[in-house]
Structure 1
Amino acid sequence: MKMDTKSLIIDIATTLFQKKGYLGVGLNEILKECNMSKGSLYHHFPNGKEELLIACLHSLDETITTHMKEIFRDYPTTQIATQAMIEKLVIKFEQEGMIIGYTISSIVSEMGALSEAVRNACALSFTRIQEIYLNKLVEDGFSEEKAHSISLMLTASIEGGIMLCLAKKTSEPLKIISQGLPNLFREL
């Protein structure tokens, strides 16, 4: 299936943003990787790089939440589903040395330098991720209040774990988080 130009730009820019961060990627680098002119890029994203970033965040959000929903549908409890998801992240990291396509944190680590529109796109993505955990936790029999607390802790732990894996160049942080999940579910 041939990808349309706008989708191709989003795909390439998302990968670049994840590898280098928003501020670490210049417009010229995106243009070079996409093999296109500024005019072509501005045709699809009239407001420039920030509009492209928001499109990348929406695309990444859709990929992450779709993937999570599939995993959470296939496993009986939140704990088992989360451990399976972390295992997939560990394998991906150990094979590729990166975790591209499963986190928005690497793109938005410069949150203070970004606009309110970008912050809102990120907040929406984190909320959608949290809701997947929350819904599965409620299915598991947790109260809404406990499910909210656990879903926040899972979202923060896994996003933070991914960042630690990338920074330390080891999958150990995610492995430790996965091992600690039974304690998290018992304590709350």
Structure 2
Amino acid sequence: MDTKTLIIETATTLFQQKGFKSVGLNEILNACKITKGSMYHHFPNGKEELLIACLRLMNEAITDDMQSIYSQYPTTLEATRAMIDILMERFEKDGTITGYTFTSIVREMESLSEPVRNASNLLYRQIIKICSDKLVADGIPEDKAYSTALMITASIEGGILLSLSKNDTIPLQTVSQFLPNILKEI
């Protein structure tokens, strides 16, 4: 693995575990076993530039995973439930859901720069589009599909955060249980 990839992957893990502001540059350097010069060679604008690279990495991983799941099921309800089941399995196996949610990284969003907000907004837009496209394929009109996809995404993100804070999967189970009600309303 090249140094830049090592830095991005290590920082992503640390940011997910502790949040962007709680991870110091020295912690990243020590975890990667690199010098400050090496870090600034790859990320001359520092930690925030690194955060944007981490968000891009997560964007690719999350959207690829979600596309794969959604393409395996005939309806949005089945696909979304399957995705939530996978999230719960990961939580029960690992005790966390890092790697799928980036909310833990950017929970201090209000104090971050416009480029960071734009990078995280891009990921949310892509997640909502995947779900919205599936709803349209289910026969839902585009305008209703978008707002429903937004509601589903918000529910899952909230379920992830609550599962992490409660240290159990009940919030995600509840989201899965109420999905038919959200879809019935359209």
Partners of 2:103 and 2:5 in 1: CA distance: 21
- 1:149 to partner: Cα distance: 1.1
Q: Give the secondary-structure state (helix, strand or coil) at the position aligned to 1:156.
A: helix
Fraction of identical pairs, as percent: 59
Query: 1:90: which partner in 2?
Result: 88
Q: Deviations over 1:10-32 (max 9, x none)?
A: 11100000000000100000001
For residues 54-110 of structure 1, give each alpha carbon's deviation from its aligned partner in whole angstroms, at most 9, with x where no partner exists.
000000010000000000111101110000000000010011111011011110100
CA distance in structure 2 between the aligned counterparts of 1:4 and 1:71, rounded to whole angstroms? 30
In structure 2, list runs of 5 or more residues that go unmatched.
Answer: none
Q: 2:116 aligns with which of 115, 118, 135?
A: 118
Is 2:41 aligned against 1:56?
Answer: no
Aligned partners of 1:132 and 1:138: how far apart in 2? Answer: 10
Question: In the alignment, what sits opposite 1:161?
Answer: 159
Partner Cα distance (2:2, 2:70) in 1: 31
Residue 14 of structure 2 aligns with which residue?
Answer: 16
Query: Which runs of 4 or more aligned residues in structure 1 lie more than 4 Å from their structure 2 counterparts after TM superposition?
Result: none
Aligned length: 186
TM-score (norm 2): 0.98
Letter in 1 for 2:127: I
Please state whether the residue corresponding to 1:122 is helix, strand or coil. Answer: helix
Q: Distance in 2 between matches of 1:155 and 1:184?
A: 12
Instruction: Say whether residues 1:135 and 2:133 are aligned partners.
Output: yes
Q: Of residues 18, 26, 29 in structure 2, which corresponds to 1:28?
A: 26
C-alpha RMSD of the superposition? 0.6
Distance 2:5 2:67 in 1: 23
Alpha-carbon distance in 2 for matches of 1:133, 1:106: 22
Equivalent residue number for residue 185 of structure 2: 187
**Match among 64, 71, 76 for residue 74 of structure 2:** 76
Take 1:145 and 1:84, find their aligned partners in 2: how far apart are those partners? 25
Aligned to 1:171: 169
Distance 1:135 1:152 in 2: 12
